[in-house]
Amino acid sequence: MVDTFSRSCPMPIMEHDTIQLAHGSGGKLSADLISGLFLPLLGNDILNLLEDQAILQVPEGRLAFTTDSFVVDPIFFPGGNIGDLAINGTVNDICMSGAQPLCLSAAFIIEEGLAIKDLHRIISAMAEAAEQAQVTIVTGDTKVVDKGSCDKIFINTTGIGCVPADVTISAGSIRAGDKIIISGTVADHGMAIMTSRENLSFETRITSDSAALNSLVARMLEASTAIRAMRDPTRGGVATTLNEFARSSQIGITLFAEQIPLLPEVRGACEILGIDPLYVANEGKLITIAAPGEAEKILGAMRQHPLGRQAAIIGEAVSDHPGMVTMETGLGGSRIVDMPVGEQLPRIC
Amino acid sequence: MVDTFSRSCPMPIMEHDTIQLAHGSGGKLSADLISGLFLPLLGNDILNLLEDQAILQVPEGRLAFTTDSFVVDPIFFPGGNIGDLAINGTVNDICMSGAQPLCLSAAFIIEEGLAIKDLHRIISAMAEAAEQAQVTIVTGDTKVVDKGSCDKIFINTTGIGCVPADVTISAGSIRAGDKIIISGTVADHGMAIMTSRENLSFETRITSDSAALNSLVARMLEASTAIRAMRDPTRGGVATTLNEFARSSQIGITLFAEQIPLLPEVRGACEILGIDPLYVANEGKLITIAAPGEAEKILGAMRQHPLGRQAAIIGEAVSDHPGMVTMETGLGGSRIVDMPVGEQLPRIC
């Protein structure tokens, strides 16, 4: 991890204060936007060539390849903005396969009229997040749509990573007895977005957990390669990820309610709003399933990393109720944790 | 090339006729949309795993990596729709490096309320275009935004291709004397969009040239590897691509107006609307720069391919006026062909 943000650029002096349709035309204003704002912040030997495609030298082996579009509303929120979210989200999808990220693409759809200073703030956050995750953006695209045809800015990032030869992680490989580990507190990102969108104020401000998990994953794989499955519980939260695991492996999963890490302010906000934190999005957490004999070793490695200090074993895979997730509550009761049916919170990421 | 479209699926029977916010939630309706519509049309061994990332086996060597977001308005137009455009556009950006496409990602941002039958038509066009280009979609993402926050549907496709070891194509490698070759008529796509958007009716309907050029490029590379530079003149048209070439190689380019292939109906529409066809987008054409001794061989190979029948040498690189593009008109005059400054036609692709 890189601690300091070594790259910055002052607000560029541009002909306009806001994004014009012509910034997406492929002509002179597009070229000004790229040379004045994108390249000073994101530039590198490959991106600077400005070819329509990046050419990468890759070793023989397995590549992880993943895509995500980010449409979060609001675009600025406590703990981050759409820019760092777009980097971290795709880095995380890559490294959930055990791969280390190699590079990303970034494609922007911008609404006519977006303030250049807002775009500068977003691209600065992308540059900082990319540097922290030690990943480069090697190719990109910018489209501008007329006012009213999108909401401020949408960002797609697509990434490539190299999967180590000895690692095979798959949602379908979970066995009874395996332990369910989460890397930290749940529901922080979703509740940060929700409270900031609704202008709700609590005593302690809830902050998004947006973070790149690739260095945490590297630490875990150093400790043990006996990781069966791994996924970041974003949209749909922990409940959705575990239901996907249960279905893919045709195994039951039992959660222990009291073991699930939850910040007091997030618990409070969820109670007030009547929301189950298990269904709320996270953007800097992972769930991993470990063979029983290896779980403590992996947990120990996670707790030594800044992003895994509050890691905990929150459940286990069972041969009962295959394909289903249940939760044991403190009072000895048990309930089904189903896939969410409706939409709790649109545009969370 | 595959002549017939072997994959199809009837309109899926779904709970709703239109896209709901919950179709993007990551929960049950998302799963229904994926299993009912996306997988029957686009599915393959990798996509069907529904992991958050595709795992690909790649040979050692150079990869081409490229991204594009498609925001075309209208989404259905003569000669295609946003679905096939999204496949062809990214396949073309890959193969302009000389690479053959390996696979694509597809990420959708859909407006709440889009008719499922429109989405079905778009995904069907993607499936058909992918099959024709012999490329698979191996990973994807779907976001739904509230009504009014985007215009119907935006699609990002990002692609990977393998660059043959003996091929080096770069905008910076053009030398004086090189020939400028175009694969066919110019301005078809842009004028198809413009006339359909404005509801202009001409005697002959103008049709988009949307097509995947990878089989044409393969044919060209069989004929000669002496291709210096290659690019598809999309946004900003032929004028923008040639200006980019002239700047990258610090060389002058001279065009011969009378050699540029132009359909009579496109010429007519451009004249009526006062538009210079050199600045209008193409979606199934390429410009290549060939060493003088190889140009006729490459041109001959292009003309044997259905997408290159009207290929023509339209100019040459010169040592005069480095960084600039000029055009010799039929009457012995000459004018500068500059980068476009404003936006002629937003949301062309």
Strand partners of residue B65: A54, B160
Q: How many angstroms separate the CA of residue A45 from the nearest CA in chain B?
A: 14
**Can you give the CATH number for the domain in which A159 is found?**
3.30.1330.10
**Mutation site, B46, B146, B158, B280, interface A, largest A CB count within 10 A:** B158
- Please list the alpha-helical segments (H only) found in B274-327: 295-303
Question: A18-54, pLDDT tens digit by residue?
Answer: 999 999 887 788 889 999 999 999 999 999 998 889 9
Q: How many angstroms separate the CA of residue B321 from the nearest CA in chain A?
A: 19
- Domain identity same for A154 and A181: no
A304, two tokens:
């030594």
Residue B101: name the closest of B75, B131, B133 by CA.
B133
Q: With an 8 Å Cβ cutoff, are B138 and A240 in contact?
A: no
What's the number of domains chain A is made of?
2
Task: Give CA–CA dist A83/A130, Å, rounded.
Answer: 10
Q: What is the domain range of residue A150?
A: 4-163
3-state percent breakdown (helix, strand, coil) of chain B, nearest 5: 35, 25, 40
Last residue of a domain, one of B105, B131, B163: B163
Looking at residue A8, its pLDDT comes to: 65
- Domain identity same for B128 and B242: no
- Domain identity same for A325 and A229: yes
A54 touches chain B (CB under 8 A): yes
- Domain identity same for B137 and B184: no
- Domain identity same for B216 and B291: yes
User: CA of A269: how far to CAs of A192, A194, A340, in Å?
Assistant: 10, 10, 20
Within 10 angstroms of residue B315's Cβ, the number of other Cβ atoms is 27
Mean pLDDT of B248-256: 96
- Domain identity same for A119 and A187: no
- Domain identity same for B108 and B201: no
A70, two tokens:
């980010």
Q: With an 8 Å Cβ cutoff, are A109 and B143 in contact?
A: no
Mean pLDDT of B75-90: 97
What ipTM was reported for this prediction? Answer: 0.94
Model confidence at A9: pLDDT above 80: no
Contact B102, B134 (CB under 8 A): no
- Domain identity same for B36 and B108: yes
Q: At what angle do helices B188-197 and B264-273 cross, to 10 degrees?
A: 50
Q: With an 8 Å Cβ cutoff, are B65 and A105 in contact?
A: yes
Size of interface A-B (CB pairs under 8 A): 263
Contact A74, A196 (CB under 8 A): yes
- Domain identity same for A104 and A206: no
A156 touches chain B (CB under 8 A): yes
**Can you give the CATH number for the domain in which A293 is found?**
3.90.650.10
B residues 4..43 contacting A (CB < 8 A): 20-22, 24-31
A180 touches chain B (CB under 8 A): no
Strand partners of residue B313: B181
Comparing A110-124, A246-260, B45-59, B104-118, the range with the smallest average pLDDT is: B45-59
Task: Give CA–CA dist A17/A13, Å, rounded.
Answer: 9
Question: A290-328, pLDDT tens digit by residue?
Answer: 999 999 999 999 999 999 999 999 999 999 999 999 999
Percentage of the residues of chain B whose pLDDT score is greater than 70? 97
Residue A345 lies in a domain: no
Q: Name chain A contacts of B244, Cβ cutoff 8 Å.
A: 50
Contact A286, A230 (CB under 8 A): yes
Q: Name chain A contacts of B103, Cβ cutoff 8 Å.
A: 65
Q: With an 8 Å Cβ cutoff, are A149 and B347 in contact?
A: yes
Q: Which of A27, A140, A339 sits opposite B27 (nearest CB)?
A: A339
pTM: 0.95
What spatial distance separates the first Cα and last Cα of chain B, rounded to whole Å?
24
Closest chain A residue to the Cα of B73, Cα to Cα: A145
Phi, psi torsion values for A36, nearest 5 degrees: -90, -30
DSSP label of A18? B
User: CA of A307: how far to CAs of A214, A311, B301, in Å?
Assistant: 10, 9, 57
Looking at residue A28, its pLDDT comes to: 83
Give all strands (DSSP E) within B24-152, no chain letters: 54-58, 61-70, 76-77, 80-81, 100-111, 136-145
- Domain identity same for A266 and A154: no
- Domain identity same for B151 and B206: no
